[in-house]
């Protein structure tokens, strides 16, 4: 058990640790983080070393819950001071909102 987990639990808080890679992000990691968020009592504190990964996951959770368009997600990222091209957000947008030319043709 980490010191952080011990301190959180001693304060009566639920704790979950989902490591997210800066450079080698997988959809599985994002899914795991979103599942952990869903199962935690609210409000939730999400943090990481520099804040970019935590901010991206919080925004991805919001985008998923509110079905935000890529444009809305990008606009909110910019308003929050997050780089829309950072790997977590970019991959989420590409995975969940692929460009029209990559979508299967409908007849």
**What burial letters (b/e) apply to 69-86, b meaning 16+ CB within 10 Å?**
ebeebbebbeeeebebeb
Instruction: Tell me what pLDDT residue 15 has.
Output: 93
Show the low-confidence residues of the chain (pLDDT under 70): 25, 96-107
Instruction: Tell me what pLDDT residue 95 has.
Output: 76
Instruction: Tell me what pLDDT residue 79 has.
Output: 92
Q: What is the pTM of this model?
A: 0.76
Pairwise CA distance, residues 68 & 49, whole Å:
26
Instruction: Tell me what pLDDT residue 101 has.
Output: 45
Instruction: Tell me what pLDDT residue 97 has.
Output: 63
Of 79, 83, 81, 84, the residue nearest 97 (C-alpha): 84
Q: Is the dihedral of CA 35, 29, 101, 104 positive or negative?
A: negative
Q: Angle 9-14-20 (CA atoms, 0-180°, nearest 5)?
A: 105
């Amino acid at each position: 058990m980490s010191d952080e987990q011990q301190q959180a639990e001693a304060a009566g808080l639920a704790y979950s640790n989902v490591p997210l890679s800066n450079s080698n992000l997988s959809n599985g990691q994002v899914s795991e983080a979103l599942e952990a968020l869903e199962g935690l009592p609210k409000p939730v504190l999400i943090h990481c070393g520099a804040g970019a990964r935590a901010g991206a996951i919080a925004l991805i959770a919001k985008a998923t819950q509110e079905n935000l368009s890529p444009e809305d997600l990008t606009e909110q990222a910019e308003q929050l001071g997050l780089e829309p091209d950072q790997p977590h957000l970019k991959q989420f947008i590409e995975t969940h909102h692929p460009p029209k030319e990559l979508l299967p043709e409908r007849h």
